[in-house]
Amino acid sequence: MTPLLETRSVTQRFSGLVANSDVSISVGRGEIVGLIGPNGAGKSTLFNLIAGVMPPTEGAILFDGEDVTRLPAAERCQRGIGRTFQVVKSFETMSVIDNVIVGALVRATHIREARRNAHEVLEFAGLAARADVLASDLIPSEKRRLEVARALATRPKLLLLDEVLTGLTPIEAQTGVELVRRVRETGVTVLMVEHVMEIVMPLVDRAIVLDLGKVLVAGKPQDVVRDPKVITAYLGDRHAVGQ
């Protein structure tokens, strides 16, 4: 079976700066894949290329067996790619439920259906009690959950999570981890960018490490964390030698 998502030799340059260079990754159906790497490794760029914020300078992106390289973000969402934003982008003047309805409208033919689906998603994400609150009145961890809920309401096949667990308290992060697990149980494939290794490693089936815009290592999380190349990338040469 073809993988759900595949990038083929994707390269992205920003006027001289090469953010991604010849990146080829694939994500299988039903997987939880972690995209990790030190600051400036090109995680966010790759993430944005997959989400359709801009087309890559070179290379191709295949989703569900089809070439989506040139499709705009809205159309990718319609095809089944949902995403969250690292810096949360709630619709601040709208209530929580209205935020989620916007996402649900992609699949619903009628507003009433979208509202019903949105309520279900809020229930799933543990935000049902906050449905009628303005998004601007949510606390940060709730805003993160709203990001996930809104993306889930679009019924994605692939959910892209951009540092949803970063900066949360340990308890909040644990709730987040459980939410991601439950998302996968509903049949959604997850690709998550994370910075904090301790949180993601127990969660993901596979980890892809980016460094300096290139794929450094990809594999099972327990192998990846022991890989000297990864340790060098994160901590510098001295520590790798000490191993």
Does 143 contact other proteins by CB under 8 A?
no
CA-based end-to-end distance of the chain? 39
Of residues 103 and 221, the one with the C-beta less far from other proteins: 103
Does 243 contact other proteins by CB under 8 A?
no
Of residues 163 and 211, the one with the C-beta less far from other proteins: 163
Does 133 contact other proteins by CB under 8 A?
no
Least distance to other proteins, CB of residue 203, Å: 23
Of residues 2 and 14, the one with the C-beta less far from other proteins: 14
Does 117 contact other proteins by CB under 8 A?
no
Site for other proteins in 38-97 (CB under 8 A): 51, 53, 72-75, 77-78, 82-83, 85, 89-94, 97
Of residues 152 and 208, the one with the C-beta less far from other proteins: 152
Q: Which of 105, 190, 200, 217 binds other proteins (CB under 8 A)?
A: 105
DSSP state of 64: T
Are 210 and 35 in contact, with CB atoms under 8 Å apart?
yes
Least distance to other proteins, CB of residue 113, Å: 11
CA nearest 96: which of 108, 86, 88? 88
Q: Which two tokens stand for residue 133?
A: 């609150």
Write down the H helix ranges in the chain. 43-51, 73-79, 96-104, 111-125, 140-152, 170-185, 197-200, 221-226, 228-235, 237-242
Q: Which residues contact 143 (CB under 8 A, 6 or more apart)?
A: 88, 90, 135
* Cα separations in angstroms, 120 against 151, 206, 216, 224, 225: 13, 30, 40, 37, 37
Q: Which two tokens stand for residue 124?
A: 């799933």
Q: Which of 1, 15, 132, 170 binds other proteins (CB under 8 A)?
A: 132
Q: Please report, as ranges, the residues that interact with other proteins according to CB under 8 A.
A: 51, 53, 72-75, 77-78, 82-83, 85, 89-94, 97-98, 101-103, 105-106, 111, 114-116, 119, 131-132, 150-151, 153-154
